[in-house]
C-alpha cells in the first residue's frame, strides 16, 4: 500500500463523503440519526456467524480477490474472428482489455477463482443484507459547563438547522474531548483550536470543509476553508496535498458533518486506504466528535464491494447508506476498524 494519499487528475485527491438521509427518514420527528451506535442486543440476534478470529478469514479472502483480475469475460468480433476480452467498469467508464493467447488459460482460471471467492463473500455476509434500513436515534448530550476563555464559535445574528451548538462547543466539556485522543498535549490542543476554526467557517451552512495537521507536532499542513465547498463531500487540491506530502509526518485530518452523523462508510474507507492518516476526526455541528483511529486496508475493498453491488439498483445516495450499514454490522464481531465517540 502506498505511503501517500493517492492523487488522480481525474478526481479529487482525498474525498471524504457522507451519505444523505434515505427518503423514508425525511419524515421522522428526530433527524439526528446514528448508525454507529447499534444496540448490542440486536447483534446477538442478527449476527452470529463471526466469532473469535474469523475476521482473519474474511481479510484473507479479500486479499486474494484483490490479487485476481476484476471484470467479466466477453467475446468481441474482430475482423470476423471471436476474440476474448476482459471487461470491467472504472470511474463510471467501461474498460476492456484484449487477452493474449499465451495468457488466456491463466486469466480464465483467475476469473473463475474470483467468482468463487465473491460467492463465498456473499455467503459469509448474507445476514448483513437484512434490515439494511435499521438505524437508531443518538443519545442526548450531557450537561456541560461554559469555559472562561476566548470562545471558539462567535455568536451569530440568526440560527438555522445547520448552526453550530455554540454554548456546548465553547465549553470545557468540548475542550476535554480532545484529551482522549492518543496524541501529545501540543497536538490535541492544536486539534481543539483547529476544530473551532473549521466549525466557525461552516456555522449555519451544510457545507463540508477539511483541515490536515501533523500528528507529531500539531503544525497546520493544509486546509480548504477559503474555497467554495460542497454539501456532500470535501477534498484537497493537488497543491494542498503537496503541502501535506512535504511534511513527511503522519497526518490527522478533520472534517465536519453538518447533519450530525457519525463517520460514513466512505470516510472509513478513505482512512483505510491511506496509511499515512493517523486519525480522522469528524466534527458534528451539535458538538459530537468521532475519531477513526484504526482500520485494516481491506475495509476499503469491502465497502466498495457493497457499494458497487447496490448502486445500480438504488443510486449513489442510498448505496452509500446501505453500504455503510453493512460495513458497520460486519465490524461488530470482526474488528475491522475502530471508531471512538469522544
CB 262 within 8 A of CB 18: no
Name the residue among 38, 33, 37 with its Cα closest to residue 257.
Answer: 33
Of 47-51, 75-79, 228-232, 323-327, give the range with the top mean pLDDT.
Answer: 323-327
Asked if the structure places residue 39 within a domain, the reply is yes
In the chain, how many domains are there?
A: 1
Q: Is the pLDDT of residue 127 over 70?
A: no
For residues 70-78, average pLDDT: 81
Asked if the structure places residue 57 within a domain, the reply is no
Asked if the structure places residue 114 within a domain, the reply is no
CB 298 within 8 A of CB 55: no
The residue that leads in pLDDT, 275 or 271, is: 271
How many whole angstroms separate alpha carbon 208 and alpha carbon 199? 10
The mean pLDDT value of the chain amounts to 76
Asked if the structure places residue 263 within a domain, the reply is yes
Asked if the structure places residue 318 within a domain, the reply is yes
Handedness of CA 115, 121, 126, 130 (dihedral sign): negative
Q: Which domain holds residue 327?
A: 14-45+132-341
Asked if the structure places residue 200 within a domain, the reply is yes
Q: Is the pLDDT of residue 25 over 50?
A: no
Confidence of residue 23 (pLDDT cuts 50, 70, 90): very low
Asked if the structure places residue 160 within a domain, the reply is yes
How many whole angstroms separate alpha carbon 329 and alpha carbon 131? 11
Asked if the structure places residue 234 within a domain, the reply is yes
Amino acid at each position: 500500500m502506498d505511503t501517500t494519499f493517492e492523487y488522480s487528475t481525474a478526481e479529487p485527491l482525498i474525498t471524504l463523503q457522507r451519505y444523505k438521509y434515505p427518503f423514508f427518514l425525511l419524515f421522522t420527528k428526530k433527524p439526528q440519526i446514528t448508525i454507529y451506535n447499534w444496540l448490542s442486543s440486536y447483534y446477538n440476534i442478527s449476527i452470529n456467524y463471526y466469532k473469535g478470529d474469523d475476521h482473519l478469514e474474511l481479510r484473507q479472502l479479500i486479499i486474494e480477490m484483490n490479487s485476481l483480475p476484476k471484470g467479466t469475460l466477453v467475446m468481441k468480433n474482430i475482423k470476423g474472428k471471436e476474440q476474448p476480452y476482459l471487461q470491467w467498469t472504472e470511474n463510471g467508464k467501461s474498460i476492456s482489455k484484449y487477452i493474449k493467447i499465451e495468457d488466456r488459460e491463466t486469466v480464465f482460471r483467475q476469473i473463475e477463482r474470483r467468482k468463487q471467492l465473491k460467492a463465498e463473500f456473499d455467503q459469509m455476509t448474507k445476514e448483513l443484507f437484512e434490515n439494511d434500513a435499521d438505524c437508531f436515534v443518538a443519545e442526548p448530550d450531557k450537561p456541560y459547563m461554559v469555559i472562561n476563555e476566548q470562545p471558539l464559535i462567535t455568536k451569530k445574528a440568526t440560527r438555522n438547522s445547520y448552526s453550530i451548538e455554540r454554548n456546548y462547543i465553547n465549553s470545557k466539556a468540548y475542550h476535554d474531548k480532545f484529551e482522549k485522543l492518543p496524541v501529545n498535549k501540543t497536538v490535541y490542543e492544536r486539534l481543539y483550536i483547529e476544530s473551532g476554526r473549521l466549525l466557525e467557517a461552516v456555522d449555519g451552512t451544510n457545507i463540508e470543509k477539511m483541515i490536515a495537521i501533523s500528528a507529531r507536532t500539531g503544525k497546520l499542513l493544509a486546509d480548504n476553508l477559503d474555497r467554495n465547498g460542497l454539501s456532500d463531500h470535501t477534498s484537497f487540491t493537488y497543491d494542498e496535498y503537496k503541502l501535506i506530502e512535504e511534511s513527511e509526518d503522519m497526518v490527522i485530518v478533520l472534517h465536519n458533518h453538518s447533519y450530525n452523523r457519525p463517520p460514513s462508510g466512505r470516510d472509513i474507507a478513505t482512512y483505510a486506504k491511506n496509511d499515512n492518516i493517523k486519525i480522522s476526526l469528524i466534527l458534528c455541528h451539535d458538538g459530537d466528535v468521532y475519531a477513526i483511529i484504526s482500520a485494516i486496508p481491506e475495509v476499503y475493498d469491502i465497502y466498495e464491494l457493497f457499494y458497487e453491488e447496490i448502486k445500480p439498483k438504488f443510486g449513489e445516495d442510498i448505496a452509500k447508506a446501505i453500504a455503510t450499514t453493512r460495513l458497520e454490522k460486519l465490524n461488530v464481531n470482526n474488528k475491522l476498524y475502530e471508531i471512538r465517540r469522544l
